[in-house]
Structure 1
Amino acid sequence: MTQTAQLYRMVMEDHVCPYGLKSKDLLERQGFAVDDNHLSSREETDAFKKEHGVDTTPQTFIDGQRIGGHDALKKHFGQDVREEGETTYRPIIAIFSVAALMALALAVGSLGTVLHIRVLEWFIAISMCFLAVQKLQDVESFSTMFLNYDLLARKWVPYGKIYPFGEALAGILMVGGILPFLSVPVALFIGTIGAISVFKAVYIDKRELKCACVGGESNVPLGFVSLTENLMMIVMGLWMGTKAFLL
């Protein structure tokens, strides 16, 4: 016998609550028949909240028991719910995964093979571009977080706002393999200072900080990821410099 859940969600002419839709979808995927009750006005919504002593909608009831909003419903079904401020590596995994797939696609499309050094070059360069975009979304917020550990930014505050543009510039030029006389020194400069700063903050001073590597609102812990980002720029700078000027 199919179990029924009562769902109360806002459905108005100018607003349909997205979490109400997600709650309805979750209930249906869990095999529930949904008694879908629409709150079609602010007055009706406020009256519902007052009646049940809740601050938000949607609200789900199962067997007469109030479960709560969408997050509470996910917890009820044993699903993970990310808490505010919780540490996560998801942004980094997404960036590096997509960068790797793009590098492979470029190699297949332009070279006809993935067994080429350009795959690694593209992967690092594209990753640099993605990481720069994350920072450029809110340069002010990034630069503030950056001041927690970057040694040069602490000496010269404007560097925190210049860094994302330098990383983007170096990454873009390296994707095309052009102007190495510009991309190489930029990558080596910001990569070396960054690596030293992160190593000192995390491994010498033993500080627990948030990484500014994916932007100012990041919940990625400072450490291996930041160090990897900077080491990638150093390696790429050394390789592209050697390739351009010696090979």
Structure 2
Amino acid sequence: MPKDAHSKTAVLYRMVMPEHTCPYGLKSKDLLEREGFEVEDHHLKTRAETDAFMSEQGVKTTPQTFIDGERVGGFDDLEVHFGKKDADPDETSYTPIIALFSVAALLAIAFARVALPSILAWQTLGWFVSISMVLLGLQKLKDIESFSTMFLNYDLLGKRWIRYAYAYPFIETGAGLLMTAMVWNWLSIPSALFIGAVGAISVFKAVYVDKRELKCACVGGDSTVPLGFVSLTENLMMVGMALVMGAVALG
């Protein structure tokens, strides 16, 4: 059957060896096909063949894609080429925080579905906050060094006591777990109230008083979320949760 005269063709060179198939090559082929291209798929089957190709093209990595005789590059370059991704890796993205809060909300609803007469209860909101704290703490625990470096840009207590920046992820995660389980209120409530209040004051000063443009460490040290509303909301949620639980405990 003859090819469509108007079909788009891309030439892809990728590693397909007995012991290793490049995952970025697979992703490149899939992306090209989803964009309507017929792919001339060239397999680089040995290390020597791969090295020779990279030397010939003057590149340091594979896969490499060519469209209309012009080299586009690797998978990241393809995503930029097709508008799937911004060329600037530091471009602001709220995707991680949206995903995190969405999962927290769904988990809170799941808990409520099992444990409560109705998901439309104040406890569902409480679980949403406490689960969010756990998930946010987990993001920070992935790389405490990176988190602490970003955190020290704006946290007032952290600047005075460096070890606080290292302790913060553990305090947030621990308080969130205790609040989710609704145990040891004597520890979880003051912990959340303290770090939430200090964090809220620090963010407010950095963003709204000093007018600094910083990245938020709320979802870890590799975050591209700007410091401001999201981080302030995180801290105010902790303060609110602590105050409500404290009022209930006293009542």
Provide TM-score, normalisation by structure 1: 0.93
1:119 aligns with 2:124: yes
C-alpha distance in 1, partners of 2:8/2:212?
A: 51
1:49-85 deviation per Cα after TM superposition (whole angstroms, max 9, x unaligned): 2222333221122343333222332344343345322
AA matched with 1:15: H
Question: Which of 165, 173, 182 is the equivalent residue of 1:177?
Answer: 182
Question: Which of 49, 56, 60 is the equivalent residue of 1:51?
Answer: 56
C-alpha distance in 2, partners of 1:59/1:141?
A: 32
Aligned to 1:94: 99
Between the aligned residues of both structures, percent identity stands at: 63
Within 5 Å, give how 1:12-91 maps onto structure 2: 12-81=17-86, 83-91=88-96
Within 5 Å, give how 1:210-221 maps onto structure 2: 210-221=215-226
Aligned to 1:222: 227
Moved more, 213-222 or 228-237: 213-222
C-alpha distance in 1, partners of 2:197/2:80?
A: 44
C-alpha distance in 1, partners of 2:40/2:124?
A: 53
Residue segments in structure 2 that go unaligned for 5+ positions in a row: none
Q: Is the Cα–Cα contact under 8 Å of residues 71 and 81 in structure 1 kept in the other structure?
A: no
Aligned to 2:136: 131
Deviation at 1:201, TM superposition (A): 0.8
Aligned to 2:200: 195
Return structure 1 stretches of 4+ with deviation > 4 angstroms. none
C-alpha distance in 1, partners of 2:146/2:11?
A: 42
1:209 aligns with 2:198: no
Structure 1's 205 and 34: CA in aligned 2 closer, same or farther, altered over 3 A? same
What SS does the corresponding residue of 2:247 show, helix, strand or coil?
helix
Deviation at 1:109, TM superposition (A): 1.9
C-alpha distance in 2, partners of 1:147/1:79?
A: 33
What SS does the corresponding residue of 2:43 show, helix, strand or coil?
strand
AA matched with 2:136: L
Q: How many residues align?
A: 246
AA matched with 2:179: M
Deviation at 1:122, TM superposition (A): 0.3
What SS does the corresponding residue of 2:19 show, helix, strand or coil?
coil
AA matched with 2:220: G
Aligned to 1:108: 113
Residue segments in structure 1 that go unaligned for 5+ positions in a row: none
1:121-170 deviation per Cα after TM superposition (whole angstroms, max 9, x unaligned): 00000000000001111122212221111111111111111111111111
Q: Is the Cα–Cα contact under 8 Å of residues 80 and 87 in structure 2 kept in the other structure?
A: no
Aligned to 1:231: 236
Provide TM-score, normalisation by structure 2: 0.92
What SS does the corresponding residue of 1:34 show, helix, strand or coil?
strand
